[in-house]
Structure formats: C-alpha cells, structure tokens
Amino acid sequence: GMKSITNIWMGAVKKGRMPEAKAKGFLAAIKPTLAFEDFADCDIIVEAVPEIMSLKKEVFEAIDKHTRPDTLICTNTSGLNIDEIAAVLKDPSRCMGTHFFSPANVMLLLENVKTAKASDKTVATCMAFGKMLGKKAVLVGNCDGFVGNRMLAPYASQASTLLEEGATIEQIERVATGFGMAMGPMSLGDLVGQELFWKQRKAA
C-alpha cells in the first residue's frame, strides 16, 4: 500500500535520484481508497489485481458501475485475454491493456494492448498516457503473452528445465547475468511473485 509507495520514492531521494520536494509532491497526489465510489471522476483507471480472470471481471464490473461513461478502464494484465475482461463492461470500446513491466517505477516499457472493440480515442489516449508518464509505449495486439511475456516464456521454461535437471539456482542466475541479462530468470520470478504463477495454475 502507501507504505511501499512511500519507501520507493523516499528511497530514490536517499539515493540522490530525485529531489525530496518532487517525491513528496508525488505522494501528496495519491488518494488511497477502498471504495469504488471514489473513482467517480477519474479519467483513466488501470486495474492491477492478481492474474485471476474471475477476479479481474469482478473488479471491472464494480468499476463500471461507479465511473463516468467516458472513463477509460484499463488492465495491467500480463497475459490474460483482455477481450474477455472487457466483455463485462457496458461499453467495451473504453477498455484496453496497459501492461507496465516490473518494477513499474523503473522499467520504461509499456505494452498498450489493443482489444477488438477499443475505439481510436481509447488507443490514442493510452499511447499519450504512456508518453506523459515517460514510458516507451508500444502498441501490440491481444494475443497470448502479448510481446514481452511471449518472448520471456521459452526463456523461463528453459531455466526451470535446467533446475529440474540438476543445475543450481546460482548457476542459472550466473549464466544469465554473464550473458548480459539485468537479472536472472529466478530473480525475475521472485520480483514478479512466485505466488502469482501458483494462483494462475490453480485458477486454470
């Protein structure tokens, strides 16, 4: 929650990467809430609950009931079928994917995923949204894994196979970083959250 967000921005201040006034300005702009009613005047909403289709749909239905007809409702899913999520909205043309890579405050890549019914205005707004945030926004289609995770899947699969065949986590990590990766596949899994993959398998 707010504690984690505060730690991220104040950590950047301590490392000299951001003026304290700017960090405090970011924090002051956040209004924590547990009430969907507080979304009534939002222009764009990015949902980021765990990767469970039923949960995504439940949240989208709740957001749909408490937002303006022109509010864009986006999802941060890294691989679920966004057309299926958007189908629960009264107007699916105001939905598309906005997949921020982890950690979102560091990584520049933003996958904007065009759904079948997304309007031109929705697509243009999400691309402008990414630029406003200082991200490298790329427009991709709604397919399995989009672009980033479609490329990552065989890499992660081979890492798991190496582990099952006797290689140690340390060996796998050392080879990956030695090759030039910013972090190894096991560290990446820890960063994303291993429980996320478990929840996906359980929900399948």
pLDDT digits (tens, 9 = 90+) for 148-185: 888 888 999 999 999 999 999 999 999 999 999 989 99
- Residue holding tokens 């340390």? 170
Beta strands in 115-154 (DSSP E): 136-141
Smallest CA-to-CA distance from 19 within 7, 28, 10 is with 10
Split at pLDDT 50, 70, 90, the class of 1 is confident
Rounded CA-CA distance 116/99 in Å is 17
Q: Which amino acid is at 70?
A: D
Residue 202: pLDDT above 90? Answer: no
Mean residue pLDDT across the chain: 93
Least confident of 46-50, 52-56, 100-104, 194-198: 194-198
User: Which of 56, 94, 99, 135 is the catalytic position?
Assistant: 99
Q: What pLDDT score was predicted for residue 20?
A: 95
Average pLDDT over residues 80-103: 95
Is there a catalytic annotation at residue 66? Answer: no
